[in-house]
Chains A and B, each alone.
Chain A
């Protein structure tokens, strides 16, 4: 093609292309700070006649990097919630060195019993021992309440996470449809890809996932355990029943894509993400810690239990200083009684405030004369106090569910419990730091690959401006030439 009209048309196509390209640059610049936005570029196609036109739009993307970011985000999601819960637990159980910790109050109780033992006739020492006993009971009650609170918060967290996952999956459906039916290379298509990546990023915080990009452009999402979350349509995640959290038992089971995760296939459950973290706190960390508190309380009740003092004992042992819901029966050794730490309290018969007699601590017999080891009322009677003081250091059996070993003394048990929580807390804190560092690092790498670099955009804007000027100049010249031509005709 030759001729002035064709020249004009070429110059016009140059103008159109340049303005199209600057629209892309300006969009890049506008959304430079948007992490979910991937840099756009537009290609040129040259027609047979030499005119140029805007070709397909491309988007800087790296699916492998995106997958890394998604995995890292899930790890952060899981670790963050574990750390928060462990920090609360750690503060309730307290530092073993701190006077207010359970281990320290146990130590105080033993100390005041020992003091009472040295002055068995002194009511003042008896009262002091009782105060120490009361403080440990309330300490255990408070810790049990805190654990229950952390559990129910974790459950609420899991519920909110499930709602968010369902909402995000529902949001993904029209985006996925638009991608599958869309025309690659158009701006609308790329916008949908951005939206999809944004949703995936949010989703990965909630649940660990794996994505499969299909040939028709659609995305299938699976949990990191392999269950289907999204494929053409969202699969639902739901709690089967909104039952209350019962101490000692795992919470309501979760079903993903009609698979009960508490059932026979735990390996299919998600391993990372806020939901997995919350469930681990709800049914793992807190359950173990709750068992430790219950076992501490049970051991304490057993320690202060009263036995039949007859020459030939016929009566079963009964609870003494410490009582619980099952009193006067004594809880069996090494059998976990869920919720015991929340029930433990001082027997009012010992409590001066409610008209009781603290000296029962020395003699026993709160359950009747058969249980009194000092029926003569000797004021210097020390044997029972000596036995009880020594029992604090005597190994006894514990339930394996507490995960602290099965044969150890109550003091060792309480200390081990505190240090386990502390160790887990510091591990969780380290994991979170690592996960955050990894997540940040991958996000930065992804951003540097697919994000907008303002320097580059400005440089290309300058180049586009020059090219626009040149095309415009060509048009002016052609216009003048037409003027000359038309002038000749006159």
Chain B
């Protein structure tokens, strides 16, 4: 009986429109939720096959689509731990039950344990740089750990490599073997001297005195002393040189000969073996000058978060000014983001319909880039939601009118029998 069908069809229309209103309500409510992805209502027609002489109306079916792949507007903030992704990809976060989830909501703050936690209480995950990028598991969460800045624990790094690039004065006078610094005598002569800071095993500063002495034309001696043993008048030091190297220069251009040693290995007192690269040393007829000098390592101090770069690298700085990468924040993506399972807290779960996830880094193929100091806003647009709402209201009213008409017709039918 098609009159019943009319009432059922219009009821399904009203149900569909109320679902649509519900979606509008959720979208409008989350219009200011960072990382929120608006949900869109799609209708599908549903027919009942019947004989041609009498038509039975079908139904309308509701499909809710969450438009996860849509990019939200970016808004600038003043916190460097506010992160947003421009383009495809999700941050990997972990909830309190230890489950890994994906999210686009990037308002992170450091919690009491030094971890980066977003507004939903999820912890941002990253790869520690010490394990290198090779440890990335493309389709699993292995190797990820919560990005943590323990501002209490101290860490030190002993020096292992360095660089000294200098010009040695070609017109210096050659020193007799008895008076070269490596002889460590009171009458020591040298043409040039510089000093460098290295770090021992416990992060203590070790001052290294580097003496450069011409021993014969085109031949130089580089000797490294521990400053701690310096005498009242410089030489002699308490102990002889830690290390000595002989450099020979090419008379044609003043550069090191290929046969000459081009580095010096120094056993840092209470530290590691430090190799200082001397390959760019030159011997030209101008005064002594250091062009570049650098030794790695840092003093024992707490690390502070200073920067999250566009490639997801998290930099920390130590008290002595050393700046090091500590974590790299990866991005995850799935073949069909719109089919991800929306979870509370702006998070998404991987489903069979979304396809399996893939992990990579910001800027790599198929992944967007991470921006620091910005937040991705909700994709819900109040204006279009209002338009939808008005439309849904009209649709609901129209369906109710059809229902009313169907009901009135039923009345007439029932009243045929007095």
A contact residues vs B (CB 8 Å cutoff): 1-6, 9-10, 12-13, 16, 47-49, 51, 53-54, 176-183, 210, 212, 214-216, 218, 220, 222, 225-228, 231-233, 235, 240, 255, 257-260, 263-265, 267-268, 481-482, 485-486, 488-489
Complex interface residues of chain B between 190 and 211 (CB less than 8 A to chain A): 190-197, 205, 207, 209
| B382/A4 in contact, CB under 8 A | yes
Cβ contacts B312-325/A at 8 Å (1 or 0 each): 00010111111100
Q: Which residue of A lies closest to B198 (CB)?
A: A232
| A180/B233 in contact, CB under 8 A | no
Which 4 pairs across A and B sit closest by C-beta, in order of nearness?
A181-B317, A177-B321, A3-B381, A4-B383
Q: Within 8 Å of chain A (Cβ to Cβ): is B75? A: yes
Beyond A258-B230, A489-B389, 17 additional contacts (C-beta under 8 Å) are A6-B381, A9-B377, A47-B86, A47-B371, A47-B374, A48-B86, A51-B75, A212-B293, A222-B194, A226-B288, A231-B196, A255-B234, A258-B234, A260-B233, A264-B188, A265-B190, A489-B390
In the assembled complex, which residues on chain B have CB atoms less than 8 Å from the CB atom of A215?
A: 294
In the assembled complex, which residues on chain B have CB atoms less than 8 Å from the CB atom of A489?
A: 386, 389-390
In the assembled complex, which residues on chain A have CB atoms less than 8 Å from the CB atom of B302?
A: none
Q: Within 8 Å of chain A (Cβ to Cβ): is B71? A: yes
Complex CA–CA separation, A283 to B307 (angstroms): 52
Complex CA–CA separation, A9 to B31 (angstroms): 12
Q: Closest CB-CB distance, B339 to chain A, in whole Å?
A: 22
Total count of chain B residues near the partner, CB < 8 A: 59
| A181/B289 in contact, CB under 8 A | no
Q: Within 8 Å of chain A (Cβ to Cβ): is B290? A: yes
Complex CA–CA separation, A373 to B177 (angstroms): 63
| A5/B306 in contact, CB under 8 A | no
Q: Which residue of A lies closest to B368 (CB)?
A: A48
Q: Which residue of B lies closest to A481 (CB)?
A: B383
In the assembled complex, which residues on chain B have CB atoms less than 8 Å from the CB atom of A267?
A: 169, 287
Q: Within 8 Å of chain A (Cβ to Cβ): is B1? A: no
Q: Within 8 Å of chain A (Cβ to Cβ): is B151? A: no
| B386/A486 in contact, CB under 8 A | yes
| A232/B389 in contact, CB under 8 A | no
Q: Within 8 Å of chain A (Cβ to Cβ): is B74? A: yes
- Could you show 24 A-B contacts with beta carbons less than 8 Å apart? A2-B381, A3-B381, A5-B380, A6-B381, A10-B73, A48-B87, A180-B323, A181-B321, A181-B323, A182-B306, A183-B315, A212-B290, A212-B291, A214-B294, A222-B290, A226-B192, A226-B194, A232-B197, A233-B205, A257-B194, A485-B383, A486-B386, A489-B386, A489-B389
| B73/A235 in contact, CB under 8 A | no
In the assembled complex, which residues on chain A have CB atoms less than 8 Å from the CB atom of B307?
A: 183
In the assembled complex, which residues on chain A have CB atoms less than 8 Å from the CB atom of B321?
A: 176-181, 218, 232
Q: Within 8 Å of chain A (Cβ to Cβ): is B40? A: no
B contact residues vs A (CB 8 Å cutoff): 31, 71-76, 86-87, 169, 187-197, 205, 207, 209, 227, 230, 232-234, 287-294, 306-307, 315, 317-323, 371, 374, 377, 380-384, 386-387, 389-390
In the assembled complex, which residues on chain B have CB atoms less than 8 Å from the CB atom of A13?
A: 75-76
In the assembled complex, which residues on chain A have CB atoms less than 8 Å from the CB atom of B322?
A: 180-181
Complex CA–CA separation, A218 to B321 (angstroms): 9
Q: Which residue of A lies closest to B386 (CB)?
A: A485
In the assembled complex, which residues on chain B have CB atoms less than 8 Å from the CB atom of A4?
A: 381-384
Q: Which residue of B lies closest to A1 (CB)?
A: B73
In the assembled complex, which residues on chain B have CB atoms less than 8 Å from the CB atom of A179?
A: 321
Complex CA–CA separation, A220 to B195 (angstroms): 11
Q: Which residue of B lies closest to A210 (CB)?
A: B289
Q: Which residue of B lies closest to A257 (CB)?
A: B195
In the assembled complex, which residues on chain B have CB atoms less than 8 Å from the CB atom of A214?
A: 292-294
| B193/A227 in contact, CB under 8 A | yes
Q: Closest CB-CB distance, A239 to chain B, in whole Å?
A: 13
Knowing A13-B75, A48-B71, A258-B230 are in contact, say whether A181-B306 is a contact too (CB < 8 A).
Answer: yes
Q: Closest CB-CB distance, A7 to chain B, in whole Å?
A: 9
In the assembled complex, which residues on chain B have CB atoms less than 8 Å from the CB atom of A226?
A: 192-194, 287-290
In the assembled complex, which residues on chain B have CB atoms less than 8 Å from the CB atom of A232?
A: 197, 320-321
Q: Which residue of A lies closest to B373 (CB)?
A: A53
In the assembled complex, which residues on chain B have CB atoms less than 8 Å from the CB atom of A177?
A: 319-321
In the assembled complex, which residues on chain B have CB atoms less than 8 Å from the CB atom of A257?
A: 193-195, 209
Complex CA–CA separation, A2 to B72 (angstroms): 11
Q: Which residue of B lies closest to A226 (CB)?
A: B288
